Amino acid sequence: MQLNGCGGVQFNDTAEAVSVETLEIMQKANEKSGCTNYLPTLITTSDELMKQGVRVMREYLAKHPNQALGLHLEGPWLNLVKKGTHNPNFVRKPDAALVDFLCENADVITKVTLAPEMVPAEVISKLANAGIVVSAGHSNATLKEAKAGFRAGITFATHLYNAMPYITGREPGLAGAILDEADIYCGIIADGLHVDYANIRNAKRLKGDKLCLVTDATAPAGANIEQFIFAGKTIYYRNGLCVDENGTLSGSSLTMIEGVRNLVEHCGIALDEVLRMATLYPARAIGVEKRLGTLAAGKVANLTAFTPDFKITKTIVNVTRS
């Protein structure tokens, strides 16, 4: 649902990096850690690089079905107060030309993350009506602003608890709105660094089958590197954390199988339910549950086998039988 990079590469920042070759490397790295499908995530950048990302995604999908499942654009319509590691020079308000471009290419753009308080309701509705999953994130929204966004067409929330206001007694904010609305899906980063495991347990009790395991991974996931470029700056990988020079979290090094293990071992969630959080629930969230997310006749057989101690033994991708 949210993968900036892995296997030593990033699908971000430069024309050279935003390529079919990068996506192929990411797919191979994913398979080694038990992930068969993903949403390549391009964070806040220029119109030109976003348009290249769309072209690359279209080319990749024609070549590799049932692997990457469309583009996730995280930005650029965010709130600067909650920009996180995103480049502030590219954070901006929606313009009609870019909105139209995204809608015209909704067949390869699966998800767009935006701050609901920064985007007019009619833009949110237009994206949703085009078939794009609209997700709330990097937002300073109040409860009222968040719920207005939900009514306009937001159905998902990006990395619950991160890059959104704290919940207080008088103002639940975006996080409180997500937890209060039963129908809103959300992703959560289960590395124990972005979100405390107690908060994950609480979110699971409230969200049930709407809580999806995500990694928000970057280049160090599945690779042995100490630094990389992200959002136009050097990111350092130290002690499991990906941070910029100011200590701002900048994605994760989490793999999917590590996330599964963490939810079982640290959150006490049953393995079968954790696997649904990594498969079925994300598939439902982006509308591909008829072909992916469970094992059933007529569905694509994307499968992962692992040992009781969470070691991947085999990954099968894109197997069908008529």
Alpha-carbon distance 281 to 293, whole Å?
Answer: 8
Which listed residue (216, 244, 272, 309) is catalytic? 216
Residue 267, H or E segment? helix 256-267
Give the DSSP letter of residue 249: B
Give the DSSP letter of residue 86: S
Residue 104, H or E segment? helix 96-104
CA dihedral 137, 255, 106, 151 (to 10 degrees): -30
Place of tokens 């994300």: 282
Alpha-carbon distance 236 to 64, whole Å?
Answer: 32
For the chain, how big is the Rg over CA atoms in Å? 18
Alpha-carbon distance 190 to 187, whole Å?
Answer: 9
Using the Cα atoms of residue 277, residue 278, residue 281 and residue 282 in order, give the sign of their dihedral: positive
Alpha-carbon distance 83 to 137, whole Å?
Answer: 9
Phi-psi region of 313 (alpha: psi -120 to 50; beta: other; left: phi over 0): alpha
Using the Cα atoms of residue 233, residue 251, residue 293 and residue 313 in order, give the sign of their dihedral: positive
Phi-psi region of 117 (alpha: psi -120 to 50; beta: other; left: phi over 0): alpha
For the chain, give the number of residues: 322
244 is catalytic: no
List, by residue number, the catalytic residues: 216
